[in-house]
C-alpha cells in the first residue's frame, strides 16, 4: 500500500527491495521518463509490431518515443522502420538509430555486420546486451520508452524485469493462444516484480471483409474481455488482421500505418 517504487527513500523492508537493488543505472547523459515493457506468451503474435505501433502513435501525439529491442535473438524492430545503418558510438556511449519520424531505436541488429547474422549467444551474454542497451546507450530526452521483450518468461525477460525501472507492462495476445494461461503467467510475473499491468492488446482479433464489412473471427471467438476482467486488468485494443499492416511492418514503412485502435490507447 502506498508504494512509490522508490526503495531508496523508503524504510519499509519488503520483498521488492532486493529486486530494486538489481536495477542498473541509466547512462548519465540519458533521460527517460516512462518505461513500458511489451510482452507475449510466444513468438509470432505481433508483439514487435504492436511495440512499434505504440511508439509511432506516441511520437505522433508529440511525445518523444524510443524502442529498446530486448528481443535479442529475434530482432524485428529495425526492419519495421527500414533502419539499415549500423549504430554509431563515441567514448561517451552508443547513439540510438533515429527513424524517419524521430523515434530513437536500439537493437542488436544495428550492431551486427549483416542483419542476417544470427545471434548465437548464451543467456548471460544476451542479458548483458540488454542491460547495456539501458546503461551504455545515450537516450535523448525520451518521454516513452517501449521495451520489446523476448517472448515468454525466461532468462532475458527476467533480466528486463529486474534491471530496468519498468513503469508498467502491456500484454500482447492473439485469439489462438492459450490466452488465459498466458495472461495468468504474465500477471503473476508482474505481481512478483511489483510492476503494474497496463492492459492487454489482442492482435489478429478479427478480419474485416473489405467488400461487405463483416467481421470474421479467423482464429475463433475472442474471450479477451472476460479474461481481462478475471485478472483485474483491461483490454487496451483489439487489432484486426490487416494485410496492409503486415506490408508496412515487413517493408520498413510502419510509420505510415495509422491505427485508430492504437491511437485510442491512453498511456499518459
Ligand atoms: P512477434 O514480435 O510476436 O514475434 P511480429 O510483430 O514480428 O511478432 O509479427 C509476426 C508477423 O505477423 C510479422 O510479419 C507481422 O508483420 C505480422 N503481423 C503482426 N500483426 C499483424 C496484423 N494485425 N495483421 C497482419 N499481419 C500482422
Task: Give the CATH number, domain containing residue 111.
Answer: 3.40.50.300
Distance between Cα 204 and ligand 1 center (Å): 9
Specify if 132 maps to a domain: yes
Nearest to 92 by CA among 140, 23, 142: 140
Ligand 1 atom closest to the CA of 242, numbered from 1: 24
Q: What are 149's three cell numbers? A: 521483450
Q: What whole-number distance in Å separates Cα of residue 206 and Cα of residue 239?
A: 7
Specify if 213 maps to a domain: no
Nearest to 262 by CA among 242, 236, 243: 236
Specify if 236 maps to a domain: no
Give me the pLDDT at residue 177, please: 62
**HSE (CB half, 13 Å, CA atoms) of 214?**
4
Distance between Cα 246 and ligand 1 center (Å): 6
DSSP codes joined into one string, 97-110: EE-TT--EEE-GGG
Minimum CA distance residue for ligand 1 atom 27 = 246
Give me the pLDDT at residue 68, please: 97
Domain total in the chain: 1
End-to-end CA distance of the chain: 22
- Per-residue pLDDT tens over the stretch 237-247: 999 999 998 89
- Per-residue pLDDT tens over the stretch 80-132: 999 988 889 999 999 999 999 999 999 999 988 777 777 777 878 888 999 99
User: What mean pLDDT is predicted for residues 203-208?
Assistant: 91
Dihedral sign from CA coordinates of 27, 25, 49, 262: negative
Contact 196, 165 (CB under 8 A): no
Contact 239, 261 (CB under 8 A): yes
Specify if 109 maps to a domain: yes
Specify if 30 maps to a domain: yes
Q: Which residues contact 161 (CB under 8 A, 6 or more apart)?
A: 37, 189, 190, 193, 195
Specify if 224 maps to a domain: no
The pocket around ligand 1, CB under 6 angstroms, is made up of: 40, 43-49, 76, 203-204, 239, 241-242, 245-246, 249-250
Local structure of residue 167 (DSSP, 8 states): S
Specify if 203 maps to a domain: no
Per DSSP, what are the bridge partners of residue 40? 172
**HSE (CB half, 13 Å, CA atoms) of 115?**
15
Q: What whole-number distance in Å separates Cα of residue 72 and Cα of residue 75?
A: 6
Range of the domain at 79: 25-171+243-263
Specify if 105 maps to a domain: yes
Amino acid at each position: 500500500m502506498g508504494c512509490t517504487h522508490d526503495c531508496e527513500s523508503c524504510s519499509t523492508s519488503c520483498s521488492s527491495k532486493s529486486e530494486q537493488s538489481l536495477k542498473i543505472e541509466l547512462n548519465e547523459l540519458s533521460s527517460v521518463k516512462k518505461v513500458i515493457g511489451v510482452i507475449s506468451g510466444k513468438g509470432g503474435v505481433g508483439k514487435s509490431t504492436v511495440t512499434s505501433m505504440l511508439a509511432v502513435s506516441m511520437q505522433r501525439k508529440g511525445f518523444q518515443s524510443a524502442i529498446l529491442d530486448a528481443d535479442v535473438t529475434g530482432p524485428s524492430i529495425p526492419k519495421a522502420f527500414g533502419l539499415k545503418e549500423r549504430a554509431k558510438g563515441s567514448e561517451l556511449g552508443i547513439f540510438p538509430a533515429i527513424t524517419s519520424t524521430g523515434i530513437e531505436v536500439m537493437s542488436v541488429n544495428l550492431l551486427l555486420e549483416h542483419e542476417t547474422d544470427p545471434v548465437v549467444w548464451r543467456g548471460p551474454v544476451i542479458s548483458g546486451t540488454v542491460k547495456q542497451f539501458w546503461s551504455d546507450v545515450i537516450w535523448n530526452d525520451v518521454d516513452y520508452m517501449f521495451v520489446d521483450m523476448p517472448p515468454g518468461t525466461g532468462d532475458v525477460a527476467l533480466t528486463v524485469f529486474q534491471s530496468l525501472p519498468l513503469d508498467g507492462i502491456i500484454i500482447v495476445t492473439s485469439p489462438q493462444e492459450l490466452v488465459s494461461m498466458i495472461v495468468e503467467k504474465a500477471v503473476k510475473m508482474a505481481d512478483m516484480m511489483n510492476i503494474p499491468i497496463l492492459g492487454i492488446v489482442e492482435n489478429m482479433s478479427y478480419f474485416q471483409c473489405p467488400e461487405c464489412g463483416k467481421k470474421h473471427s479467423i482464429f475463433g471467438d475472442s474471450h479477451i474481455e472476460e479474461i481481462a476482467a478475471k485478472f483485474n486488468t483491461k483490454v487496451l485494443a483489439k487489432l484486426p488482421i490487416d494485410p496492409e499492416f503486415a506490408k508496412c511492418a515487413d517493408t520498413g514503412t510502419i510509420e505510415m500505418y495509422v491505427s485508430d485502435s492504437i491511437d485510442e490507447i491512453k498511456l499518459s
